[in-house]
Amino acid sequence: MAAAEQLIQMEYSEIMQKSYIDYAMSVIVSRALPDVRDGLKPVQRRTLYDMYELGIRYNQPYRKSARIVGDTMGKYHPHGDSSIYDALVVMAQDFKKGMKLVDGHGNFGSIEGDGAAAMRYTEARLERITQEVFLGDLDKDVVDFVPNFDETEKEPSVLPVRIPNLLVNGAEGIAVGMATSIPTHNLGEVVDGVIAYMKNPDMSTKDMLGIIPGPDFPTGGIVTNKDDLISVYSTGTGKIKLRGKVEIEPVKGGRTDVVITEIPYTMIGAGIGKFMADVYDLSEKKLTNDIADISNQSSKDGIRIVIELKKGADVENFCNLLYKKTRLEDTFGVNMLAVCNGKPETMGILPIIKHHVDFRYELATRKYTNLLAKEEEKREIQEGLIRACDVIDLIIEILRGSKDTKMAKDCLVNGITDNIKFKSAKSKKDAAKLRFTERQATAILEMRLYRLIGLEIEALMKEHDKTMANIALYKKILEKKSEMTKVIIKDLNEIKKLYERPRRTKIENVSEAVFEEKPIEEQDVAVLLDRFGYARVIDIPTFDRNKETAEDECKRIVMCKNTDKLVVFSSAGMLHMIKVLDLPMGKFRDKGLPIDNVSGFDSSKEEALYIEALSNLIGRQVFFGTRKGMIKSVTGDEFDVARKSAQATKLSDGDELICAGVLENTDTIVLHSDKGYFLRIGLEDIPVLHKGAAGNRGMKLSKDELMKEIYILHQGDDIKAKSGSTSVALSRLHIGKRDGRGTKR
């Protein structure tokens, strides 16, 4: 009989909470964050281990990246090939890592943001440091191996990395609700820091920064806030301010070139292109007139971005402008978050080094425990062979008299002589006294006769002496922590000697860049807006020469100062501010720039109803009329706001603004409904309200009746409106009262 079904009732919220927490922890621990011990994320660890298993050594031929990715995905990391290849690419990029872990052959991308070639075109192999420092002790059983995802293979839970890779290569990763951002550091300095900590575990963060002064980025550059680093490295969080390296090169004709030879680490990728675009914009927005040309002359030899300045340019002020307005000076946000004992933890530099040192002691303990066991095994066998050489005639007699291997082995181990034929009773008596161990007996039975040569016996004795010396050494290392410390320090110094390289990033205290902006020469201009929403600025003489053409072709012409702001009122009841200086100034036939690009206006969702200079609105009344017949006027001073976009008038659901404009003292308003009703009212009937108000009803409307048009009628205007087949002259309508029904025409 089948077992009865059990129904378990749970709150839906509890199930969702538990499931989300499980998912979040899986992403945090198994995907996004590095382990504090080896400084690697799981995908990096698995990729390197797979290359080690495939035998792709630094001194062996390269192998296809696709082979590495496929093997890693099939055996250890079943999360898609792109994540594995991306990890492989980053480990092969010397401009992202303090020390490359993979030797890439082919196109592995560039510092300027070019992507790597497809995995089928590139090849890779392990770097020497990866093979020797990261994977060298894997065969000594120093780390635990765990089942892979389908339990068909074993993989290391952590790699036996002998340097604090978390500091040397840094880390970046986004998990669920948290992210890590650890800068790269200089290998030699980090090794010195670890050695200093091992000698004095009570040292302070300030003491450590005397050895590891701060980050060492592969792109070089300058850290400008040295005094802030104590806080950053104590807490594990903070900001590091970076600058690119600028060199000043005089050229012929008394001009000067500003040459960027090192960039901030944060500019890796598309940042260089963005920087050049930002420099170009400085000239377009008239923030500087000193730029003659800009070119990117970077090559495999390094970064070289050349900005040619005009004769007489203030070079120092221009460099300060670059620091203030471009990413040549940038901020690197530090959050030293890593997985520690299975949990995410934010750590300062000392806890990171402490965890590494503890890990090194653990590795060394397991390593020398295993080596000692192997040496003890060798000693046992060697002592058996040496003893066997002394009684070799008896052993040969036992072997010749035995019927099988078991009989001979029983005699060697336990002294059992039954059924063995001896030449004499003395031999049998001597054989009964033999007490070799199982391992010694096996070695004796497998021993070849050439080992009986005198020189071979002498070599065996020397080998035994060496084994005994190793046993004494390993016991000494395991019994005394001070001896183990010496061994680890010696190993660290050897690693430093082999792989150390000079520091690339300078660490200084630099005062904040001060840019003295030259005052803009104020002038009268005309802003032209065409029917496609493109705006451009021309000077008044150019406008005067093309006035008729401009009035025919342009939707709106605004006369103002070049230092003024434009206010755009849209059908969505919004106002959008545009600096006139943000619009391109040029020739009459220049195309201009969409107002969407320089404001919060979105032409796909709203229509520009009215554009006016802010200075022309101050002290005047601005009228608003909506599709549902709500009207009001607002004092123009209310539109002098700091934000790029703000509410100009409140709209009810389904309503839209259909009329906006400045009112003159003699103006009247005409409301025209879609059912043919007209109502003309004077200024005294228009309510003056704030911009946040919805307005008052202008005309009584029947059910489903809406405003077709609302007109601002200036004195002398001769505007006619169509109502069915009738043409209505608006200036001849009688002036009525607000909220009336009006007359039908």
292-336 per-position pLDDT tens digit: 899 999 888 889 999 999 888 889 889 999 998 899 999 999 999
Instruction: Indicate if 156 and 277 belong to the same structural domain.
Output: no
Domain boundary at 462, 497, 532, which?
497
Neighbours of 397 (CB within 10 A): 20
Give the sheet arrangement for strand 237-243, strand by strand: 171-174, 179-182, 329-335, 237-243, 222-223, 506-507
Supply the DSSP symbol for 153. Answer: S
Specify if 210 maps to a domain: no
Amino acid letter for position 553? E
Instruction: Indicate if 580 and 714 belong to the same structural domain.
Output: yes
Distance CA 728, CA 159 (A): 88
614-636 per-position pLDDT tens digit: 999 999 999 999 999 999 999 99
Instruction: Indicate if 310 and 391 belong to the same structural domain.
Output: no
Residue 589 has pLDDT above 80, yes or no: yes
Of the listed ranges 218-227, 250-259, 567-576, the one predicted with least confidence: 250-259
Domain boundary at 306, 327, 348, which?
327
Residue 253's CATH number: 3.30.1360.40
Q: Which residues pair with 305 in a beta bridge?
A: 260, 296
Neighbours of 250 (CB within 10 A): 10
Amino acid letter for position 215? P
What does each C-alpha distance from 326 to 281, 576, 614, 627, 673 come to in angstroms?
10, 25, 29, 45, 53
pLDDT band with cut points at 50, 70 and 90 for residue 30: low
Query: Active site includes 121?
Result: yes
Specify if 554 maps to a domain: yes
* pLDDT of the residue at 455: 60
Cβ atoms of residues 621 and 590 within 8 Å: no
Give the mean pLDDT of 230-247: 95
Instruction: Indicate if 302 and 380 belong to the same structural domain.
Output: no
Domain boundary at 128, 160, 192, which?
160
Specify if 336 maps to a domain: no
Instruction: Indicate if 541 and 477 belong to the same structural domain.
Output: no
- Of 30 and 575, the one with more pLDDT: 575
Supply the DSSP symbol for 509. Answer: B
Distance CA 368, CA 378 (A): 15
* pLDDT of the residue at 598: 87
Instruction: Indicate if 473 and 370 belong to the same structural domain.
Output: yes
Specify if 113 maps to a domain: yes
Distance CA 212, CA 3 (A): 66
Specify if 151 maps to a domain: yes
Instruction: Indicate if 481 and 376 belong to the same structural domain.
Output: yes
- Of 663 and 176, the one with more pLDDT: 663
Specify if 410 maps to a domain: yes
Cβ atoms of residues 538 and 592 within 8 Å: no
pLDDT band with cut points at 50, 70 and 90 for residue 153: very high
pLDDT band with cut points at 50, 70 and 90 for residue 1: very low
Give the mean pLDDT of 223-232: 94
Indicate the average pLDDT of the chain.
Answer: 89
Residue 57's CATH number: 3.90.199.10
**Domains contained in the chain, number:** 4
Instruction: Indicate if 467 and 550 belong to the same structural domain.
Output: no
* pLDDT of the residue at 22: 63
Q: Which of 121, 280, 361, 677 is catalytic?
A: 121
Stated pTM of the model: 0.72
Specify if 198 maps to a domain: no
Give the mean pLDDT of 585-613: 89
* pLDDT of the residue at 231: 95
575-584 per-position pLDDT tens digit: 999 999 888 8
Specify if 647 maps to a domain: yes
66-115 per-position pLDDT tens digit: 999 999 999 999 988 999 999 999 999 999 998 999 999 999 999 988 88
Distance CA 242, CA 507 (A): 9
Whole-number percent of the chain with pLDDT over 90: 61
Residue 372's CATH number: 1.10.268.10
325-347 per-position pLDDT tens digit: 899 999 999 999 999 988 889 99
Instruction: Indicate if 300 and 377 belong to the same structural domain.
Output: no
Give the mean pLDDT of 371-383: 89
Give the mean pLDDT of 547-559: 91
Give the mean pLDDT of 152-177: 90
Cβ atoms of residues 343 and 21 within 8 Å: no
Cβ atoms of residues 240 and 506 within 8 Å: no
Instruction: Indicate if 469 and 613 belong to the same structural domain.
Output: no
* pLDDT of the residue at 27: 58
* pLDDT of the residue at 186: 96
Of the listed ranges 182-191, 238-247, 549-558, the one predicted with least confidence: 549-558
Residue 680's CATH number: 2.120.10.90
Instruction: Indicate if 536 and 638 belong to the same structural domain.
Output: yes
Determine the structural domain holding residue 600 and report its residue range. 524-744
Instruction: Indicate if 582 and 719 belong to the same structural domain.
Output: yes
Distance CA 306, CA 322 (A): 13
Cβ atoms of residues 93 and 99 within 8 Å: no
Distance CA 691, CA 653 (A): 17
